[in-house]
Amino acid sequence: MTAQSTWREKALLKKNQLNSKIKDEWKLDNATMRRLKNDKKNLTKNIDDLCPFSENQITHSTIIKLREKLKARELTCHEITFAFCHRAALIHQVVNCLSEIMFSEALKLADYQDTHRPTTLPPLYGIPISLKDQCNVEGVDTSLGYLSRTFKPKTKKEESLIVTFLRDLGALIFVKTTVPSSMMATDTESNTFGYTYNSINLEFSSGGSSGGEGSLIGAHGSLLGLGTDIGGSIRIPSSYQGLFGLKPTFGRVPYLKVDNSFEGRETIPSVIGPLAKDLLDLRYFMSCIINTCKPWVQDVKCIPYHFDSTTNELHKNYVVGIWYGDGIIDLPPSDIRALKMCENLVNNTEGMKAVQWKPSSELSGELFDIANEADVADSGNEIKGEFELSGEPLLDILKPMVLIDGRPPYTVNEWWDLTKRVYNAQQSMRDYYLSFPESDRPDVIISPTTLMPFRPGDMLKTTLRYILLFNVLNFPSLSIPAGSVNCQVDGLMDISSALNTEDKMIRTYWNDLIESGDIEGFPIGLQVVSPTFDDSEVCKFASWYCSRV
């Protein structure tokens, strides 16, 4: 048996293990599958048509509303869980978003919950929650998209603290979702599970690395799931699927015993946070995890904090910074339109004002460069090593991370130098913030996100320049849906006035997307960011904003 056949066989075994957990009656026939895959922009509607009305009522609801129905005994935990299991199975067969299926465990627990209902229902009682395939759950793998880590089910002791919290809160874990191997890509693909498509428009990538989450929730296969973000991995799939996705400040949501790449790399750390269809659900979830579970008691990396999920009123003399771009990569017309709409709304509201947020191109560029440098500091050692363990071939999406032209890994002194540059850049941004007169200091900043979607294979034709810097800065950032692309209104970009080669490449890609018409109706994403680490505030502003557009 050759190495190649070995890895292929193992990958097939894993894929079969996964698919064996989907009931036969939930399996799509070939004709339906073809029809759904070809009807690129209508997955949600097409899945709706395959599900009973009663299930759609559940899957198109919100956690908060389902909880009310549970309390009023208008729904059972079983009904809710069944609806999401069914729908997730259907979505998965089209977009390929699941890596672990726990339908039977979830339904069993739902039945138990229905027969052992306490007088007061715990905050997430009977609510199915999906998890990115980094969270450890007893009895199933955490493969991070690596074949080498399959068929190594986790023990109870290895369970992530956040999973324990979810159990304590009454939630039901029903699926784990796909990631690109190593998570160090913004496209979601692995040799084991294949490619995860965008559930809003199958033409495009789901984004990454929490691509499975984004795609699943995008088509109502889950109301809320957990992703992680070291370089946009929550915000990009959220943006690409029209969701709310919060990259919290480090230390808000516990990462304890969540598997990861580059464990121990505490400079520009990965953070864990929710992706959700509904913003109130997301805020409710954050308040449960932070205020109820108090993660700092158990996880030494967590910091005491109160997450305010109840207030919707913004304080007086509210200042919103609008970031129209870094002067390196210009924004596409859709983003400018969305930002202008926000600016106008703010300026037309009494007691609020918009200011231009415009840190220097040098600083924005430095933040971006640092993040990229950090990601290749080990010259791809860890990722290469993981691929070698199973013999699976390196993925194209990871080659920029791994094939580093013979440079040895950083020494510890080089790493400390980079860490120092991170702090200096963070301070420079703080100094920029403090350079505003106090009455003009932004409470939140509105920033573009990923500018535009990309087709499989085109990951590097977009930019992370509006993404990575907030990881380096550790600013909490909530990705929010902010309208959709209208090809006629938004139109082409002028290639001849491109600022540089990179800008030209991106403008060209945008024009291609517009000319093909594929991008028509695609969600526009913006980020609401706090320069003072105030996670509650970004959510509060987003609630205000979304209630007005």
Catalytically active residues are 132, 209, 233
Answer for which of 356, 360, 381, 435 binds a second copy (CB under 8 A) is: 381
User: Is 231 annotated as a binding-site member?
Assistant: yes
Annotate each residue in 441-480 with x if it binds a second copy (CB under 8 A) or - if it does not, as one string.
---------------------------------x------
Torsion sign (Cα): 160, 164, 166, 172: positive
Given 264, 406, 437, 517, the residue binding a second copy (CB under 8 A)? 264
Stretch that binds a second copy, among 7-15, 359-367, 377-385, 452-460 (CB under 8 A): 377-385
Closest distance to a second copy from the beta carbon of 259 (Å): 12
Question: Would you say 181 or 260 has its CB closer to a second copy?
Answer: 260
Q: Which stretch binds a second copy (CB under 8 A): 233-241, 365-373, 422-430, 442-450?
A: 422-430
Shortest separation between residue 422's beta carbon and a second copy, angstroms:
8
Burial 416-431 (b: 16+ CB within 10 A, else e): eebbebbeebbebbee
Helix (H, G, I), strand (E, B) or coil at 353: strand
The CA–CA distances, whole Å, from 159 to 142, 144, 164, 300, 518 equal: 10, 15, 7, 17, 42
Give residue for tokens 């759609």: 56
Q: Omega before 209 cis (within 30°)?
A: yes
- The three-class DSSP label of residue 319 is strand
Q: Report the residue number, 367 or 513, with the smaller CB distance to a second copy.
A: 367
Report how far apart, in Å, the C-alpha atoms of 96 and of each of 43, 161, 223, 497 are: 13, 27, 18, 40
Q: Does the protein bind a second copy through residue 435 (CB under 8 A)?
A: no
The three-state secondary structure class of 225 is strand
Residues near 470 by beta carbon (within 8 Å), at least 6 away in sequence:
247, 447, 477, 527, 529
Query: How many chain residues interact with a second copy (CB under 8 A)?
Result: 37
Contact between 414 and a second copy (CB under 8 A)?
yes
Nearer to a second copy, 43 or 529 (CB): 529
Contacting a second copy within 286-345 (CB under 8 A): 297-301, 303
Kindly indicate which of the ranges 35-43, 202-210, 409-417, 495-503 contains the residues binding a second copy, using the contact rule CB under 8 A.
Answer: 409-417
The string of DSSP letters for 434-477 reads HTS-GGG--SEEEEE-SSS---TT-GGGS--TTTHHHHHHT--E
How many angstroms separate the first and last alpha carbons of the chain?
60
Q: Which is nearer to a second copy, 408 or 521 (CB)?
A: 408
Q: Which is nearer to a second copy, 295 or 333 (CB)?
A: 295
Please state the closest distance from residue 437 (CB atom) to a second copy, in A: 15
Which part of the chain contacts a second copy (CB under 8 A), choosing from 75-83, 227-235, 407-415, 511-519? 407-415
For residue 100, the cross-strand partners are 176
The residue from 263, 396, 440, 502 that contacts a second copy (CB under 8 A) is 263
Supply the minimum distance, in Å, between the C-beta of residue 296 and a second copy: 8
* 503's tokens: 């800008």
Please give the annotated binding residues for substrate, written as ranges. Answer: 183, 209, 230-233
Site residues (vs a second copy, CB under 8 A): 256, 262-267, 297-301, 303, 377-378, 381-382, 408-421, 423, 426-427, 430, 434, 474
